[in-house]
A = this chain, B = another copy of it.
Amino acid sequence: MATAKTKRQPMTRQRVLSAALELADEIGATDLTIRRLADALESKPMTIYHHVPSKDEILDGIVDLVFAEIDLPDSELDWKPAVRARCVSARHVLTRHSWAVPLMESRRSPGPATLRHHDAVVACLRGGLSLTMTGHAYATLDAFVFGFAIQEAALPEPGDEMAEVAAEIVTDELAETFPALHEFAVERAMQPGYDFGDEFEYGLDLILDALAERSRRD
């Protein structure tokens, strides 16, 4: 009889966190439970607790892993293209791990990757902007990037049956109740070429250009 059973990897904090990240991507953060995580690791709940003190710390850990996936700004470039690239990267990462967006709010303790990331962005901004403008830029850009990720995460998946049914209901029923919404939905949002995701780069460039303009004027 072949020893088909693959040898069990040693359990470590790292392995717990990557498994948790993978599981969160599959089933979402709200359905991530210790028991399911233990199953995914072919282990038992209380084994996990030997390597990680609490579920909260697991959540902190995977949020930090998500941050680690965001490209740092390229220090060779000027602040504007460098920050632009990191914002685009951040959006891709947050789209890929859309469960992470609301978590980033409730987590109070930033992990090392999070801190390193913020440090790199601030450094990049400081390369071309005053201290004051750096504050304006970072607050505005990050609000936009995370906020956009929220909006996008709330959107129904393409192919979601409920959404398609809803679309028809909207068309018929809300035409007179919410005319402006109805007009926008029919004439713009549901038009073939429209992709909400494209609004991201529009807004990003709008903000970046305006920041550069104001920086030039002071």
Contact = CB atoms under 8 A, between A and B. Distances in A.
What DSSP secondary structure best describes chain A's contact surface? helix
B102 A106 contact: yes
Interface stretch (A2-10, A13-21, A45-53, A198-206): A198-206
B139 A151 contact: yes
Contacts of A145: 143, 147
Interface in A175-193: 177-181, 183-184, 187-189
Contacts of A154: 104-108
Nearest to A116: B178
Interface in A153-174: 153-154, 156, 162, 174
Nearest to A145: B147
A143 B120 CA distance: 23
15 contacts: A102-B103, A106-B154, A108-B156, A116-B178, A119-B177, A122-B184, A126-B180, A139-B151, A140-B144, A142-B147, A143-B147, A143-B150, A147-B150, A150-B150, A209-B210
A123 to B, nearest CB: 4
A128 interface: no
A139 B148 contact: yes
Residue among A150, A177, A199, A207 facing the most chain B CB atoms (10 A cut-off): A150
Given A104-B150, A146-B151, A147-B145, A202 B140 contact: yes
Contacts of A194: 135
Given A144-B147, A148-B147, A151-B142, A184 B131 contact: yes
A146 B150 contact: yes
